[in-house]
Amino acid sequence: MDKLNNENKPLVDPSSKKWLLGATIIIFLFIGLIIFYSISAGSKYTDFAKCVTETKTKMYGAYWCQHCQEQKSLFGKSWKYIDYIECSLPNRGGQNEICNSAGIKSYPTWEFPDGKRIEGVVSLKQISEATGCQLENPS
């Protein structure tokens, strides 16, 4: 039984307990949807990203490059399947020998199987066209 204050009213309104329970359930449902979305999001490009790498396509970039981050975000969680070459030395101290030897001048730079290069952010549709990899939802 609820404790009563000196006016014979419950200290906690019983209807507020229902509201609190309802709000808690809604919060847990919302968190569950976020978790579900984060698990499934990005994976829609997994087959595409694997195919791009199988064609020997690669992207040269730098950890500090905003356009490289933008490019990576287009793939979502599937980015991990892309053949990525980090060009920057620690503390932005220049470019490593791999990228110097490859003649990389700007980031990001995509190199396709036919030797063609495209500098800058490239749409998934363009990557699909250059590699022949199937893209179900072009962007």
* SS3 of 10-39: ECCCHHHHHHHHHHHHHHHHHHHHHHHHHH
User: Residue 21 falls within a domain, yes or no?
Assistant: no
User: Residue 34 falls within a domain, yes or no?
Assistant: no
Range of the domain at 127: 45-131
Q: What is the pTM of this model?
A: 0.67
Domain of residue 80, CATH code: 3.40.30.10
User: Residue 28 falls within a domain, yes or no?
Assistant: no
Domain count, the chain: 1
Q: pLDDT per residue over 124-138, tens digit each?
A: 999 999 999 998 755
Q: Once rounded to an integer, what is the mean pLDDT over residues 99-105?
A: 97
Q: pLDDT per residue over 31-77, tens digit each?
A: 767 666 655 554 789 999 999 999 999 999 999 999 999 999 999 99
Name the burial class of residue 112, with classes exposed (0-12), middle (13-18) and buried (19+) by CB atoms within 10 angstroms of its CB: buried
Q: Once rounded to an integer, what is the mean pLDDT over residues 24-29?
A: 79
User: Residue 94 falls within a domain, yes or no?
Assistant: yes
User: Residue 11 falls within a domain, yes or no?
Assistant: no
User: Residue 65 falls within a domain, yes or no?
Assistant: yes
**What pLDDT does residue 24 have?**
79
